[in-house]
Structure formats: structure tokens, C-alpha cells
Amino acid sequence: MPITADFHLHSSFSGDSDTPMEEMILRGIELGLTQMCFTEHNDLDYPAGEDGPSDIFELNADAYLYELLKLREKYADRIEILFGVELGLQPHLTRQNAAFVKEHDYDFVIASSHVCHGQDPYYPSFYEGRAQEAAYREYFESILENLRSYSNFDVYGHLDYVVRYGPDRDEGYSYEVYRDIFDKILHRLIDIEKGIELNTAGLAKGLREPNPCIGVLKRYRELGGEIVTIGSDAHRPAQIAYAFDRAAEILKDCGFRYYATFAKRSPSFHKL
């Protein structure tokens, strides 16, 4: 396995997982991983809905860190465990998110868009009464809005998360259709020296390509981007390191020679 670091993982500290962190770690060891970075959700001001109240994705970072340090030590001779967070951005949360990140010494911060103008595109209501393309466009525009006001993160997570949930999912979807917006997003990320991730959860859900799609990964490289982390976005042990062999092939085909990992917010590069 060329990629031995999974940099997008959840456990029971995330509102949508009930897997004990130790179970995740044991599976990672079994798979031969050398590094696992937990990136528990912190999504402030998440819209209350059928799945729970608006604080469902508010992270108890102290409890999370306590457990992680305990397990880091317990398994120190078998695997390196890193302390990350998946931070849900929304333009009005800039100050709160900045304060949240400063409260602890994270190894790695993923910025993600799970909420677009008050709605999670996970739910069908986001697409009601309009063409899928219009909904996807609104989602990508909202990433640009976030990038105008917030920059304390290391990589932007699953840039085309929305494609997992639209009525026709990745049918008719490509980098080219949204080139104008993607180029603005990618230029901005490169200007502020941030990375992106290759997230394999979409592949596990039956999409043809990872998130973001190959066209976006290729374009990031063409424009000079070099920082790509790999994450399964696993919420259960069975999903850890899903399709990492394919991820390595895709990255090489896109012109990358290295993938990135982070510790104490600093990247290291590893040959693919």
C-alpha cells in the first residue's frame, strides 16, 4: 500500500459516529497504517433538523483530546495518532471558528463546507424546485465566500461534497461545467498556500471519482498546487483507508509525485 496515512477519520466524538476511537485505531493497525489523523466534526450553527438539534456537531474538544492522548500513548509503538479537526465553515462563523482553532494545538485542520446558506446539501430540500446545476453552483460559490473570510486551516475538505447527494449525483458533473468557480477556488487556495484533500468516501458511496473529482485534482496541480492529503472520511472501522491504492494511482495520473501529511500544522511529503 503506497499510502499509509489516513488523514480524515471520525469516531464517537463526532455527532454522526458511534464508533469508539480505539476500535478505529485497532483496525488501522490491522491494515498496516503508519499514521491516523482523527478529524472530528465541529460544525457550529448547524441547522437543526430531523437528525438532531443544532448542536449535534459541536465538538467537546477537551474530552476528545483526553481520549486521543491516552490512546496515542497506548499504541505509540504501533502507530502514530494525530489530533485533527474537521471545521465546518460558514461566512458568519469566521471569528468563532478562529477562536475555536486557537484553543488547542491541533496537528491538522480540514476546512469543510457542510452547510450552504443555512442548508446541508445532504438533504433533498437543498435541490427542490431547481436544476441540479444551480444547486451545485450555489454550493461552490459558498466555498468562495468562506475563503474570502477564513484561512486558519490546512486543507479544504471534499471540495465537491455536494455531488454525493444531488438527485443525479455525478451525472453530468465535471470540473469543466464549473470551471469558472473552481478556478477561483483553486487560485485562492494556492495563493494562501493551502492544500486540498482526496477524499475516498464518495467512491465507497458509488461515485465514479473521489471528492473532488479528477478534473479538479488535475487543475490544482496545473495551477501549481502541491499539498494533497488522503482521507477515507471513515465513521466506522470498515471504511478506513478505503480505495487508497486507487487514490495513489489517481494522484500520479494527475501529475502529483507526493502526498502530504501534517503534524503540528506543518506538512510533510511522501513519495507516491
Residue 5 CA to residue 22 CA, distance in Å, equals 17
Nearer Cβ to Zn ion (54/131): 54
3-state SS, one letter per residue, for 158-187: CCCHHHHCCCCCCCCCCCHHHHHHHHHHHH
Q: Nearest distance from residue 113's CB to Zn ion, in Å?
A: 8
Residue 13 CA to residue 42 CA, distance in Å, equals 10
Q: Which of 135, 131, 112 is nearest to 123 (CA)?
A: 135
Q: Nearest distance from residue 259's CB to Zn ion, in Å?
A: 18
Residue 173 CA to residue 163 CA, distance in Å, equals 8
Nearer Cβ to Zn ion (202/267): 202
Q: Nearest distance from residue 159's CB to Zn ion, in Å?
A: 11
Residue 19 CA to residue 108 CA, distance in Å, equals 21
* C-beta separation of 69 from 62 below 8 A: no
Nearer Cβ to Zn ion (120/233): 233
Q: Nearest distance from residue 212's CB to Zn ion, in Å?
A: 13
Residue 118 CA to residue 90 CA, distance in Å, equals 9
Residue 100 CA to residue 57 CA, distance in Å, equals 14
Binding site for Zn ion (CB under 5 A): 86, 112, 233
Q: Which residue bears the cell 467537546?
A: 60
Q: Which residue bears the cell 437543526?
A: 48
Q: Nearest distance from residue 254's CB to Zn ion, in Å?
A: 22
Number of other CB atoms surrounding residue 195 within 10 Å: 21
Nearer Cβ to Zn ion (6/186): 6
Nearer Cβ to Zn ion (86/154): 86
Nearer Cβ to Zn ion (107/233): 233
Nearer Cβ to Zn ion (90/112): 112
Q: Nearest distance from residue 106's CB to Zn ion, in Å?
A: 15
Computed from CA positions of residues 175, 178, 184, 185, in that sequence, does the dihedral angle turn out positive or negative?
Answer: negative
Q: Nearest distance from residue 8's CB to Zn ion, in Å?
A: 6
Spell out the alpha helix ranges (H) of the chain: 21-31, 61-74, 94-102, 132-149, 179-191, 201-204, 214-222, 244-253
